[in-house]
Amino acid sequence: MAKSSDYNMGEFTFPRGWFMIADASELKDAPLPLRFFGKNFALFRGQSGRLVLLDGHCSHMGAHLAASASASIAVHGEQIEGDSIRCPYHGWRYTADGDLDDIPGFDGPCPKAAKLGSYRVEEVMGAIMMWHDPEGGEPEFDPPRLPEWDQPNWINGAYDHLGCLDIHPQEILDNMADSNHLGPTHGSPCEYFENEFDRHLYYQRQGGFRREYDAYLMTFTWYTGPGLLLSRQAIGDIRSIEFIFHTPVEDGMTKVWHNNLLQVAGDAPSEEDRAHAKHHQAEVLAAFGQDFDIWRNKMPALHIMSLPTERNFRLGRTWYRQFYNPRSQSAAFHAQTEGRHVPVHKLEPYEMSLELERA
């Protein structure tokens, strides 16, 4: 698998940004062991309801804080005390900030050097998201929150867990600039297509007739940072919002989730509406599966042999590199990408599509 250094991403192996790390429905009373960014983590919900994400391994002798379900204190549900967690091996206790504050049977001071890394986590639209930052800084933008998630005339899907792909996320990001795969891969060649870059935001507007649906499809798609894609879609009178969230697990390996929201006519969705929403989510997922099949079997595109009409690939890659480099360099990446870039233009459908953004 190709790695960040093979793509010349920049100083960091893993990017800065908000990333999905778990489906909120997976996190029950027990702590959850997670692996992302080449590291192990322990995720749990404290008794106050606070979400806590710590380095996975205890400073004492390296036991995993969240991966020993058979240990007695795990079986008896005694690992979590308030918003702190005890290691299942010898019971050392760590606070939500990662400080060691109790060692069973030892009266001396707890060693300060035992402190574990503690990471910012938020629950957003049924997903647990962490702020990952190689520089250890505070978030420089917020994760996306769709108003539709809480509106009664929208049906929220459950997350599809698509597992790990043996590819670098760069290959997934390339899809945003890829006007020419829409026909051969998805059966809906675009009539208009453009990208726009605005600091940590990367937009795509496109539309065209989709053969599988026998209808005109318009999409307005955007990344909030490097790992969270949302896409407002209109096919005939159907309105939906697709989610594609992806997070590096190792250098060159990426975990992917998918979801879909569907608008319904009234404020109280019927059983029939719910069945339709499930069916629609499966259809949208199948379209994403067309990309997945390509990614699973392709060679890494370390250098794209891009045509003059495909310069958005280079722009998209430049935009993405801001997250692999110190934030002090972000402005230089923005200066190279900012604004609208329009490889395929047709005015009338483009103007109609702007409705999607006002939704």
Which residues of this chain interact with ligand FES, rule CB under 6 A?
A: 58, 60-61, 63, 87, 89-92
Q: In the 3-class helix/strand/coil scheme, how is 323-350 assigned residue by residue?
A: HHCCHHHHHHHHHHHCEEEEEECCHHHH
For residue 81, give both structure tokens: 């005390």
Q: Which does 61 bind (CB under 5 to 8 A by kind): ligand FES, Fe ion, none?
A: ligand FES
Q: Which does 291 bind (CB under 5 to 8 A by kind): ligand FES, Fe ion, none?
A: Fe ion
Q: Which residue is nearest to Fe ion (CB)?
A: 291
3-state DSSP assignment of residue 279:
helix
Q: Nearer to Fe ion by C-beta: 67 or 165?
A: 165
For residue 183, give both structure tokens: 């026909």
Tell the smallest beta-carbon distance from residue 96 to ligand FES (Å): 17
Q: Nearer to ligand FES by C-beta: 32 or 229?
A: 32
Q: How many other CB atoms sit within 10 Å of the CB of residue 287?
A: 19
Q: Does 221 bind Fe ion (CB under 5 A)?
A: no
For residue 191, give both structure tokens: 């009539």
Tell the smallest beta-carbon distance from residue 120 to ligand FES (Å): 24
CA distance 273 to 236: 17
- In terms of Cα–Cα distance, which of 220, 291, 303, 218 is closest to 256? 291
Is there a contact between 50 and 83 (Cβ–Cβ < 8 Å)? yes
Q: Does 191 bind Fe ion (CB under 5 A)?
A: no
Q: Which does 63 bind (CB under 5 to 8 A by kind): ligand FES, Fe ion, none?
A: ligand FES
Q: Which does 92 bind (CB under 5 to 8 A by kind): Fe ion, ligand FES, none?
A: ligand FES
CA distance 69 to 160: 25
The CA radius of gyration of the chain, in Å to the nearest whole number, is 22
Tell the smallest beta-carbon distance from residue 61 to ligand FES (Å): 4
Q: Does 175 bind Fe ion (CB under 5 A)?
A: yes
Q: Nearer to ligand FES by C-beta: 91 or 143?
A: 91
Q: Which does 175 bind (CB under 5 to 8 A by kind): Fe ion, ligand FES, none?
A: Fe ion
Binding to Fe ion, residues 240-299 (CB under 5 A) = 291
Alpha helices in the chain (DSSP H): 72-75, 169-173, 271-297, 311-321, 330-337, 347-358
Q: Which segments of 98-236 are extended strands (E)? A: 100-102, 118-119, 121-124, 127-132, 154-156, 160-165, 192-198, 201-210, 215-224, 228-235
Q: Nearer to ligand FES by C-beta: 58 or 190?
A: 58
For residue 125, give both structure tokens: 């639209």
Q: Which does 243 bind (CB under 5 to 8 A by kind): ligand FES, Fe ion, none?
A: none
Q: Which does 143 bind (CB under 5 to 8 A by kind): ligand FES, Fe ion, none?
A: none
For residue 350, give both structure tokens: 């483009």
Is there a contact between 193 and 178 (Cβ–Cβ < 8 Å)? no
Tell the smallest beta-carbon distance from residue 94 to ligand FES (Å): 9
Tell the smallest beta-carbon distance from residue 57 to ligand FES (Å): 8
Q: Which does 199 bind (CB under 5 to 8 A by kind): Fe ion, ligand FES, none?
A: none
Over the window 17 to 56, marking each residue x when it contacts Fe ion by CB under 5 A and - when it does not, the resulting string is ----------------------------------------
Query: Where do contacts with Fe ion occur on this chain (CB under 5 A)?
Result: 175, 291
